[in-house]
Amino acid sequence: MTAETLIEVNDLNFSYDTRAILKGIQMSMPRGQVVAIMGGSGSGKTTLLKLIGGTIQPTSGYVKFAGEVVHELNRDALFKLRRKMGMLFQFGALFTDLSVFDNVAFQMREHTNLPESMIRDLVLMKLHAVGLRGAHHLMPNELSGGMARRVALARSIALDPMLIMYDEPFTGLDPISLSVIGNLIRRLSDALGMTSIVVTHDVQESLKIVDYVYFIADGVIAAEGTPKEVRESIAPFVHQFVHGEEDGPVPFHYPAQTYKKDLNLEDNFA
């Protein structure tokens, strides 16, 4: 990891009311890499993306994006910064009242004064990159889940951002769509020189495409490393997560009093 750092996360803490979600997160993401953030449901992965995008404020610590501390920016500066970021939401979050074409053109029309003929060419190029040039006239409700996510991907690269954040990009996809999205994430990052952050719990698919992995558990980074290191790791949490084992550091049973006591067996057999 010698390349220039695009995102630096330093001692980041975040709490909802008094419940600590993230505790002292430390990360560094170089330009052009694909980084995965993994962890169980509710471990604070999406919260971390929101903190990087500046939609919520950290309790303490900071996120630095391209040299700027995100939460210290005022609204205008933050909006300016966000033009360098793209985000792919879990189910695409396409604008349902706009066609595929208009969805991809949305940011270009909002933020640039490009002539309509150039917007048309750019939109078709972006759609071509995700293989959906032929679907530009469809409405979002006519797309399958995988197609919708590819359109959303085309929309998020509309202004050639420096960073794309993917929030659970593999959820609910069939195996073909899954590997299509996975490959697109890798290919687009390489072709456009973007940094990508993939928040996911799909271990096998993401280990194929990423350069580096962070595991978050209980609000702290439980482990990190390259896919190779992660696969060979003997750390109990990583081993359980990567191999999908039922019991381990993350227990199968929710904490409870003893089984015997719950079934009122202790008194009779004592």
Q: Contact positions toward other proteins, by CB under 8 A?
A: 53, 55, 79-80, 82-83, 85-87, 89-91, 93-96, 106-107, 110-111
What's the distance, CA 222 to chain centroid? 18
Helix 175-192 vs helix 145-156: crossing angle, to nearest 10: 10
Closest CB 174 distance from other proteins, rounded Å? 21
Pairwise CA distance, residues 106 & 103, whole Å: 5
Closest CB 198 distance from other proteins, rounded Å? 16
Q: Which amino acid appears at position 37 of this protein? A: I
Within 18-74, where are the H helices?
45-53
Pick the closer one to other proteins by CB: 98 or 235: 98
Pick the closer one to other proteins by CB: 86 or 182: 86
What's the distance, CA 115 to chain centroid? 33
Closest CB 13 distance from other proteins, rounded Å? 23
Pick the closer one to other proteins by CB: 55 or 57: 55
Q: Which residues of 45-78 are buried (b: 16+ CB within 10 A; e: fewer)?
A: bbbbbbbbbbeeebeebbbbbbebebeebeeeeb
Closest CB 139 distance from other proteins, rounded Å? 14
Closest CB 221 distance from other proteins, rounded Å? 24
The answer to whether the CB of 92 falls within 8 A of the CB of 152 is yes
Pick the closer one to other proteins by CB: 5 or 107: 107
Pick the closer one to other proteins by CB: 7 or 203: 7
